[in-house]
């Protein structure tokens, strides 16, 4: 198996994942993903493997509801942070340890559901992503559910446009524009060393239909792809707006309205697919 990009691993081991789901577009991603899990997962105490689950935001949320949850992440820092987070909950995970999403030491046909909410966009080659998806297929019981997150191919371009001439002028920079041109064309997010951009390390970004095809090529069926953030992240001053319960629900109505519409799905920045073994 090929290694994950060093910059990606260094970033996670520096703790960049902490609180990502509690600010900006992460607020919408977290809220809508939990909603979808609430009405899609089998009832507790079903067995859930949270693979590439960071420091366990979803894991502990599910464990509180009575699920039997196993957390795996490739970054040691994330697992250490998960141990710290566990002190805030009146529940325990069944297991939490470092592991590569392409090789999880658990029995075949042992999970009712697998959350794969991070690894697929950090595994940059198709053959390696296929290994990861086949591993999820092995772990799931017949009829089990796979929840897969992906970043859309236009995510960097959309972000750069929303902050253009306000937070930075990266779109004026030749090196950055060449980077996003390649990204939009091929899906490969490769930081240009000549650019001032210092965001995510090497990754792979999907088109919605491409994500569905990859998952089903690994043996899954009934795959449904959703724009889990939708256009709601474009709301000005999102963090402040989110603190108003009425306005928060309005934004969530926008997400629910648009999430299955293919013509607007790429605007979401993040995708969530639901598949069945």
Tell me: the pLDDT tens digits for 219-237? Answer: 999 999 999 999 999 999 9
Going by pLDDT thresholds of 50, 70 and 90, the confidence category of residue 1 is low
pLDDT of residue 199: 85
Mean pLDDT of 105-127: 96
In terms of domains, do 114 and 76 share one? Answer: yes
In terms of domains, do 21 and 63 share one? Answer: yes
In terms of domains, do 195 and 214 share one? Answer: no
Going by pLDDT thresholds of 50, 70 and 90, the confidence category of residue 72 is very high
Q: Are strands 47-51 and 68-73 parallel, antiparallel or unpaired?
A: parallel
Going by pLDDT thresholds of 50, 70 and 90, the confidence category of residue 91 is confident
Q: CA 151 to CA 146: how far, in whole Å?
A: 17
In terms of domains, do 165 and 218 share one? Answer: no
In terms of domains, do 146 and 89 share one? Answer: yes
pLDDT of residue 10: 66
Q: What percent of the chain has pLDDT over 70?
A: 96
In terms of domains, do 82 and 112 share one? Answer: yes
Mean pLDDT check: name the lowest of 97-111, 141-155, 188-202: 188-202
pLDDT of residue 17: 82
Q: What does residue 250 show for φ and ψ, rounded to 5 degrees?
A: -60, -45
Could you tell me if residue 77 is inside a domain? yes
Other CB atoms within 10 A of residue 235 CB: 16
Q: Are strands 221-227 and 270-276 parallel, antiparallel or unpaired?
A: antiparallel
Mean pLDDT of 204-208: 96
Of 7 and 188, more confident: 188
157: pLDDT strictly greater than 90: yes
Of 7 and 194, more confident: 194
Could you tell me if residue 180 is inside a domain? yes
Could you tell me if residue 259 is inside a domain? yes
Q: Any idea what the CATH number is for the domain that residue 252 is in?
A: 3.40.50.150
In terms of domains, do 161 and 148 share one? Answer: no
In terms of domains, do 178 and 167 share one? Answer: yes
Could you tell me if residue 1 is inside a domain? no
Could you tell me if residue 114 is inside a domain? yes
Residue with token string 């990606």 = 8
Boundary (domain end) residue, out of 169, 186, 204: 204
Could you tell me if residue 159 is inside a domain? yes
The tens digit of pLDDT for each residue in 168-188 reads 999 999 999 999 999 999 999
Of 200 and 204, more confident: 204
Residue 163 belongs to what domain range?
154-204
5: pLDDT strictly greater than 80: no
In terms of domains, do 210 and 188 share one? Answer: no
Going by pLDDT thresholds of 50, 70 and 90, the confidence category of residue 201 is confident
In terms of domains, do 92 and 134 share one? Answer: yes
Q: CA 258 to CA 228: how far, in whole Å?
A: 9
Decide: 206 and 152 in contact? Cβ < 8 Å: yes
Mean pLDDT of 37-61: 97
User: How many folded domains does the chain comprise?
Assistant: 2
**Among residues 88, 108, 89, 102, which one has the least CA distance to residue 47?**
108
In terms of domains, do 143 and 232 share one? Answer: yes
In terms of domains, do 200 and 227 share one? Answer: no
Boundary (domain end) residue, out of 188, 204, 220: 204
189: pLDDT strictly greater than 80: yes
Going by pLDDT thresholds of 50, 70 and 90, the confidence category of residue 18 is confident
């Amino acid at each position: 198996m090929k290694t994950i990009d060093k910059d990606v691993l260094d970033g996670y081991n520096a703790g960049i994942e902490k609180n990502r789901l509690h600010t900006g577009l992460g607020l919408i991603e977290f809220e809508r993903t939990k909603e979808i899990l609430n009405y899609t997962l089998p009832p507790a105490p079903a067995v859930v493997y949270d693979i590439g689950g960071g420091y366990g935001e979803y894991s502990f949320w599910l464990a509180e509801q009575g699920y039997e949850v196993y957390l795996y992440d490739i970054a040691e820092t994330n697992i250490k942070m998960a141990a710290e987070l566990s002190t805030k909950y009146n529940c325990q995970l069944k297991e939490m340890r470092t592991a590569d999403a392409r090789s999880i030491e658990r029995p075949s046909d042992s999970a009712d559901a697998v959350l794969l909410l991070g690894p697929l966009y950090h595994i940059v080659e198709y053959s390696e992503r296929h290994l990861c998806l086949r591993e999820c297929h092995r772990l799931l019981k017949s009829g089990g559910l796979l929840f897969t997150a992906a970043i859309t191919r236009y995510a960097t371009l959309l972000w750069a446009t929303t902050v253009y001439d306000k937070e930075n002028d990266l779109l004026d920079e030749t090196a950055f524009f060449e980077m996003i041109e390649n990204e939009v064309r091929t899906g490969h997010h490769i930081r240009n060393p000549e650019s001032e951009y210092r965001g995510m390390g090497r990754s792979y970004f999907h088109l919605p239909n491409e994500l569905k095809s990859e998952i089903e090529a690994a043996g899954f069926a009934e795959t449904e792809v959703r724009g889990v953030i939708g256009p709601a992240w474009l709301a000005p001053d999102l963090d402040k707006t989110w603190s108003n319960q009425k306005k928060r629900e309005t934004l969530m109505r926008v997400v629910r309205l648009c999430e299955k519409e293919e013509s607007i799905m790429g605007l979401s920045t993040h995708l969530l697919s639901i598949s069945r073994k």
